[in-house]
Chains A and B, each alone.
Chain A
Amino acid sequence: MSAAVETDNSGISVQQARGGMPAHHAAIFIALLAAGLVAPFLLYPVFVMKVLCFALFACAFNLLLGYGGLLSFGHAAYFGGAAYISAHAAKVWGFPPELAILSGTLAAAILGTAIGALAIRRQGIYFAMVTLAFAQMVFFFSLQAPFTGGEDGIQAVPRGMLFGLINLRSDITLYFVVLAIFLGGLLMIYRIIHSPFGQVLKAIRENEPRAISLGYRTNRYKLAVFVLSATLAGLAGSTKAIVFQLASLTDVHWSMSGEVVLMTLIGGMGTVFGPIVGAAVIVTMQNYLATMGAWVTVIQGCIFVICVLLFREGVVGVIARWVKRPL
């Protein structure tokens, strides 16, 4: 979809988009790859996989919020919806993992198109409420639909054989598959942000009437970025379902939509790498505070309040200001 839009505007010269990746971004990607390769031998691989899934989810969300300026408060619908489809495909239809993940991702894309087309009819605060309401609709559907298993969710999803060759039962093998999916998704998001399409998005975010007056059909751009974001969130959700062999109501609940907002806020919205940091912080926190019950909710609420009042740039946003380069 982005490719089609790019050719529409090929007349516009965008220096950054044509110039390739700046050196410091390339360095960060290489560092991420290196850290990703070492991590499973230092930390518990399932934990790192969880971080990677949520990091991809947050990056996908940030594509919409940070670059499109659209606050969706219902991204759990695509993450959790895709997790259900992927789990169902792997368990009931007997799909191999790659096809299960693909079908979950596709389902998220379709869902994102339907909801996005309706939601972009309203702006700002209404957009957030509309996306939240539709996500709640998906939640109720998941609660009642016969194939989702109600309160139990879909459990014991088989990890299967990747391409019929590689057995994913081993955590380490699966880890490298998840790492590849994460880096692939991140590179795609990076490419979208730095394409002419991404530049138009930023223009719409800054001043939509002006973008319209320049001849851009802003609604098409907004829908396109919404669908891309939902699709990548679906990719993260599908992968998560295979990793944890579980799709449940937690994945589609509104608190999940809130968590991804929080990850992006902590890491720094509108930064490429911020949501990864945010996801790592939140997942680590949940891991260590898991025994504390509802205090996790209280702490998350406090972080929300503190971030909004005092720390709106986020971790990576602050670093980017120090080094005077966009990250």
Chain B
Amino acid sequence: MFELLGIPPQALFGQLLLGLINGSFYAILSLGLAVIFGLLNIINFTHGAQYMFGAFVAWMLLTYGGLGYWWALILVPIIVGITGIIIERLLIARLYHLDHLYGLLLTFGLALIIQGLLRNQYGISGLPYAIPPQLAGGQNLGFMFLPNYRGWVVVASLIVCFGTWFVIEKTRLGAYLRAATENPTLVGAFGINVPRMITLTYGFGVALAAFAGVLAAPIYSVNPNMGADLIIVVFAVVVIGGMGSILGAIITGFGLGLVEGLTKVFYPEASSVVIFVIMAIVLLFKPAGLFGRTA
């Protein structure tokens, strides 16, 4: 067996794949945060809880409803997205005239409520969720073994990310959205229902988080704390990338996942903090973020 820089290639590519999978979740979640921030001007602290909630709804659909993975992939984003729309209409909409910080505090409180309720109901030990039979097994690529499901996660998140990018950057609906981000009053004057667009955008961002939750369910055990730690890393990803650009959020997400994977190979002790260290470096040299626009 040959070695690369003293590391067996199995380990290297294995960690890179793991990094790519983490990167997929960073990308989808930071994309959702960026879309919501663009129009609502709030940081959705509930995002991690909604990702976790997505995984739980997938588990509930299977356990109580007998609906499997593929149904969950379609239904969960819709269900969680609707809860997001209700939250936006009932609660968040009351804060638009206030300082952005109140939006952060409100969504933080909501995250605590969702986490606490699910922890009461299901404990913290985690619930298993099986890989769908169509995606079980794996491919031997010669230099590494690729489990089919992990390959699917990367492909599915790439499709969703670039689909979102396409809708926002290349379609008429996306043009309205970008215009409303720049100047909601003017867009409203052209007869477009901006408040409804804001509500739907929040629902869409939340649906993205829930979709990531379904993807994550078979990889990580479904447990109430799965979103809380992840969302803080995603915040760091968002600070590094800057929230001005959709493509920037996607590239930063996947890139940082890979960097994290590489760190696990070469210096495992630092792998949990490497993203925060990169954030410190970016703040030093490019405070607006890699893809950020200086305000």
User: Within the assembled complex, what's the spacing in Å between the Cα atoms of A7 and B114?
Assistant: 50
Residues of chain A within 8 A (CB-CB) of B287 are 121-122
Tell which of B74-82, B116-124, B161-169 binds the partner. Answer: B116-124
User: Within the assembled complex, what's the spacing in Å between the Cα atoms of A3 and B147?
Assistant: 63
Residues of chain B within 8 A (CB-CB) of A302 are 109, 113
Residues of chain B within 8 A (CB-CB) of A129 are 43, 235-236, 238-239
The answer to whether B113 and A125 touch across the interface, beta carbons within 8 angstroms, is no
A305 beta carbon closer than 8 Å to chain B: yes
User: Within the assembled complex, what's the spacing in Å between the Cα atoms of A200 and B114?
Assistant: 40
Q: In chain A between 104 and 124, which residues have their CB closer than 8 angstroms to a CB of chain B?
A: 118-119, 121-124
Known: A128-B104, A137-B273, A140-B272. A118 touches B235 (CB 8 A): no
Interface string of A52-92 (1 = CB under 8 A from B): 00000000000000000001010000000000000000000
CB distance from A71 to the nearest CB of B (A): 5
Interface string of B32-47 (1 = CB under 8 A from A): 0000010000110000
With beta carbons under 8 angstroms apart, the residue of A73, A122, A296 that contacts B239 is A122
Known: A121-B287, A126-B239, A302-B109. A136 touches B228 (CB 8 A): no
User: Within the assembled complex, what's the spacing in Å between the Cα atoms of A278 and B220?
Assistant: 38
Residues of chain A within 8 A (CB-CB) of B60 are none
User: Within the assembled complex, what's the spacing in Å between the Cα atoms of A303 and B119?
Assistant: 18
User: Within the assembled complex, what's the spacing in Å between the Cα atoms of A229 and B272?
Assistant: 27
Residues of chain B within 8 A (CB-CB) of A136 are 229, 232-233, 236, 276
Residue picked from A143, A301, A307, most chain B C-beta under 10 Å: A301
Tell which of B93-101, B135-143, B149-157 binds the partner. Answer: B93-101
Number of A residues with CB within 8 Å of any CB on chain B: 43
Number of B residues with CB within 8 Å of any CB on chain A: 44
The answer to whether B115 and A297 touch across the interface, beta carbons within 8 angstroms, is yes
Q: In chain A between 123 and 176, which residues have their CB closer than 8 angstroms to a CB of chain B?
A: 123-126, 128-130, 132-134, 136-137, 140-141, 143-144
With beta carbons under 8 angstroms apart, the residue of A119, A126, A304 that contacts B105 is A304
CB distance from B102 to the nearest CB of A (A): 5
User: Within the assembled complex, what's the spacing in Å between the Cα atoms of A125 and B44?
Assistant: 11
Residues of chain B within 8 A (CB-CB) of A133 are 232-233, 235-236, 239, 276, 279
Known: A144-B272, A308-B106. A124 touches B100 (CB 8 A): yes
Nearest A-chain residue to B111, judged by Cβ: A301
The answer to whether B109 and A128 touch across the interface, beta carbons within 8 angstroms, is no
Q: Which 8 residue pairs are nearest across A and B when measured between Cβ atoms?
A: A304-B109, A301-B112, A297-B116, A301-B113, A298-B116, A137-B276, A294-B119, A133-B236
Q: What is A's interface to B at a CB cutoff of 8 Å?
A: 71, 73, 118-119, 121-126, 128-130, 132-134, 136-137, 140-141, 143-144, 254, 258, 261, 265, 293-305, 307-309, 312
